[in-house]
Structure 1
Amino acid sequence: MSVTENVPRTPPASDRSTAPQAPPARVGVAVIGLLLAAALGLAVHAVGGPRMAVLYGIGLTFGVVLFHSRFGFTSAWRQLVAVGQGAALRAHMVMLGVACLLFAPLLATGTSLAGAPQPTVAPIGVSLLVGAFVFGVGMQLGGACASGTLFAVGSGQTSILITLAGFIAGSVLGAWHFTFWTHDVPTGPAVSLAQTLGYAGALAVSLLVMALVYALTLLIARRRRPPEIEQPPRARGLARVIRGSWPLWVGAVALAVLNALTLFVSGKPWGITSAFVLWGSKLLAAVGVDVSRWAYWSTPDRAAALHASVLADRTSVMDFGIVLGALVASAASGTFVLHRRVPWKLALGALLGGILMGYGARLAYGCNIGAYFSGIASFSLHGWIWGLLAIAGTYVGLALRPFFGLTNPKPTDSVC
């Protein structure tokens, strides 16, 4: 079972004694992870300076939070579509609501350590619709989203490396086709609710929509009677902080706070997949491909990133932090396990899913983090549209999963 697909719940008092207990910590792996994290932190500080080192630390914390809360995006939409279980999607609404509350004053007052903060606002057009839908399909085949891929790699799930390889390849392919999707097909304006309604109005409308989504999932649950969510291993008492699973709402609030902290420190919200296209493009450049001629790399910021060290790239540094943070957290909890054998059907699905996600993220101006989470927190209409199209893609992804040896939740099963 993939850790990216677990979504914990807090069991009632009557069944807490039967919750699976956390296995012994993998002390050796945890020590190696801490040493690697410290060494990379020193390198990041040397190359990128103190602010980049702080962002690396935030990335490490993201990895710990994602692992301990098993905060799922892929599984959230799969559970809702397949069996009507909306607990994880309700956690999304909590996360988004807290993020909006924190983003609003920062954006309204122009407060950050890197000058005026820049919200994540993107155009609404064909590329957004196609990209988000394709990403939704890819999530269900690849078994993880962008954030899930990184923390699963850190947790020892070597099979997810196939998804990551596809993610990088698809991102590069999307950058190669960037001109077609952004200039040759219809593209509309970027719509900011904050510019249209003011920050107070945008916040009120956003919270209202989130409340309606929350209520809708409860209505769906009442009609479909979804199964309970399977519990991951957990520890008792204070040990739960470093060795067990956290309540889903804790992960939701923590992710929102960390995203706001990212905005405050760097002047931009959290993102993940721009690093994937950077890594892939650098690999192509290393073997002689002149990717700098692509329109995607023509902007000054991207051109500078292409020729600089990845340790000077904010998103790359935070992505590395997520992997190492999850590694240390999973080792401390005793769940770090390397998966050496991957069935060929599963590997094929992981690769195809990764390619679809990478390509879709470039078309849709981001992934479940950059477009959905940070877009909605920035009061951009494209974030909500991204979420709706990703759910639509989930239906197709669920229909395709059995062809790759993947199962879907059933009403008679516990979901995870």
Structure 2
Amino acid sequence: MLAGALVGIIFGASAQHSRFCLRAASVELSEGGFGPRISIWLIAFSAGVLFVQLSIAAGILDVSQSRQLAATGSMSGAIIGGLMFGCGMILARGCASRLLVLSATGNLRAIITGLVLTLVAQASLRGALSPAREALAGLWLVPGGEARNLLSQLGLSSTIAAIIAAVALAFAFWLARRSDVRSSHAFAAAIVGGAVGLGWLFTYAISQASFEVVAISSVTFTGPSTDTLMGLVNSTELPLGFGVGLVPGVFVGAMTMAILTREAHIERFGPDTPMERYLAGATLMGFGSMLAGGCAVGAGMSGGAVFAITAWVAVFFMWVGAMATHLLMGRISRRAAVAA
């Protein structure tokens, strides 16, 4: 729990300061841009991959027994869930991690949306929506092991993956500099990726020392959020674990950074931010994240850093779903404006 809290504080503070957000990056790309938002996301992603793959190459990390690689995965879930999640984060103006970070700054829209997302995710995992999730996930399964490891499929080593990630990180920093991104924002984005790597290292080290079985994992939000909420609702005691420390840690880190930078303020729903759109987005993200095997960070960052093939497919379709939804909403808005 303490490891999760520490990683959460680091992630929350750096995500808040860097404006790390997959939704913002996908919107920028869909509008033909290739600048600050994409550079921030690419710095974070490349830094996470570099950290994890260097650790594996150095022999201090082994992720082969992680759920993302060892368990049976779902390609159909990654595709359908990724599309749903991408669509939902456009409607809700943020993914699961971004909503948690914004909640800590006083954004009441993010708090309500995040709660609905968490409830739908719980219903998708163990409740009324779980049969639908299981049916969609079972359409196309991938066995665990090498079949789910993208590096094994491509015949690449962790060292080669780390070199590629280092080149991508250098390009991302160059792009950030060209796009006039503040140095502190770019550095904070790299720390976001570092927090993902730190999560993998902490849970692996604990799993090697613990007498009990400890799952090797890293930063993800929908699963830990549902566990934390259900624990608070159904029990007087929370089972102490990495995820239970992670969620409040992110909240504290983001809130502290927002206060220090004087960015904390109350935001409510308004005419330009209709509640029904946010709730629809939360529903799509809650179901989509459980179907895809994680959120934009859990699948896209943590799963992507260990090269789980389903994670890479999921984050690709998150981009596709988000860009298509943004373009469709823009077209609808322009038609409405012309009709008016």
Read off the aligned partner of 1:367 and give its amino acid letter: C
Correspondence for 2:186: 249
Q: Deviations over 1:114-173 (max 9, x none)?
A: 998737337242111000010000010001112111110001111111210221122123
Q: Is the 1:68–1:246 contact (alpha carbons within 8 Å) kept by the matching residues of 2? A: no
Distance of aligned partners of 1:281 and 1:344 in 2 relative to their CA distance in 1, 3 Å threshold: farther
TM-fit CA distance, 1:205: 8.3
Q: Pairwise mapping of residues 122-271 of structure 1 onto structure 2 (< 5 A)?
A: 123-175=73-125, 176=127, 177=130, 178-183=133-138, 185-190=139-144, 191-196=148-153, 197=155, 199-200=157-158, 203=161, 207=165, 210=168, 247-267=184-204, 268-271=217-220
Distance of aligned partners of 1:103 and 1:340 in 2 relative to their CA distance in 1, 3 Å threshold: closer
Among candidates 237, 254, 265, match of residue 337 of structure 1:
265
TM-fit CA distance, 1:324: 1.5
- Partners of 1:109 and 1:117 lie apart in 2 by 17
Q: Is the 2:78–2:311 contact (alpha carbons within 8 Å) kept by the matching residues of 1? A: no
- Partners of 1:102 and 1:201 lie apart in 2 by 11
Read off the aligned partner of 1:328 and give its amino acid letter: T
TM-fit CA distance, 1:73: 1.3
| Structure with larger Rg | 1
In the alignment, is residue 85 of structure 1 matched against residue 34 of structure 2? Answer: yes
The secondary structure found in structure 2 opposite 1:335 is coil
In the alignment, is residue 95 of structure 1 matched against residue 49 of structure 2? Answer: no
Read off the aligned partner of 1:200 and give its amino acid letter: S
Among candidates 234, 241, 249, match of residue 321 of structure 1:
249
Q: Which stretches in structure 2 are left out of the alignment for 5+ residues?
A: 205-216, 335-340
Q: Is the 1:349–1:404 contact (alpha carbons within 8 Å) kept by the matching residues of 2? A: no
Among candidates 276, 284, 304, match of residue 348 of structure 1:
276
Superposition CA RMSD, Å: 3.5
Q: Deviations over 1:50-99 (max 9, x none)?
A: xx223212211211111111112110111111232343223333323322
- Partners of 2:222 and 2:322 lie apart in 1 by 20
Distance of aligned partners of 1:401 and 1:313 in 2 relative to their CA distance in 1, 3 Å threshold: farther
TM-score for both structures, normalised by structure 1 = 0.64
Correspondence for 2:321: 393
In the alignment, is residue 111 of structure 1 matched against residue 43 of structure 2? Answer: no
Q: Is the 2:224–2:243 contact (alpha carbons within 8 Å) kept by the matching residues of 1? A: yes
TM-fit CA distance, 1:109: 5.8
TM-fit CA distance, 1:282: 4.9
Read off the aligned partner of 2:306 and give its amino acid letter: S
Percent identical: 20
The secondary structure found in structure 2 opposite 1:159 is helix
- Partners of 1:157 and 1:200 lie apart in 2 by 40
Correspondence for 2:11: 62
Distance of aligned partners of 1:400 and 1:354 in 2 relative to their CA distance in 1, 3 Å threshold: farther
Q: Is the 1:93–1:211 contact (alpha carbons within 8 Å) kept by the matching residues of 2? A: yes
Correspondence for 2:306: 378
Distance of aligned partners of 1:195 and 1:167 in 2 relative to their CA distance in 1, 3 Å threshold: same
Q: Deviations over 1:373-405 (max 9, x none)?
A: 111210222232122211210133214646999
Distance of aligned partners of 1:326 and 1:201 in 2 relative to their CA distance in 1, 3 Å threshold: closer
Correspondence for 1:367: 295
The secondary structure found in structure 2 opposite 1:362 is helix
TM-fit CA distance, 1:211: 7.9
Read off the aligned partner of 2:135 and give its amino acid letter: F
Q: Is the 2:50–2:166 contact (alpha carbons within 8 Å) kept by the matching residues of 1? A: no
Of 136-145 and 185-194, more deviation after overlay is shown by 185-194
Distance of aligned partners of 1:188 and 1:405 in 2 relative to their CA distance in 1, 3 Å threshold: same
Distance of aligned partners of 1:123 and 1:260 in 2 relative to their CA distance in 1, 3 Å threshold: same
TM-fit CA distance, 1:322: 0.8
Read off the aligned partner of 2:68 and give its amino acid letter: T
- Partners of 1:330 and 1:90 lie apart in 2 by 22
Q: Deviations over 1:169-216 (max 9, x none)?
A: 221232132432333x222335213444353366168539958996xx
TM-fit CA distance, 1:246: 5.6
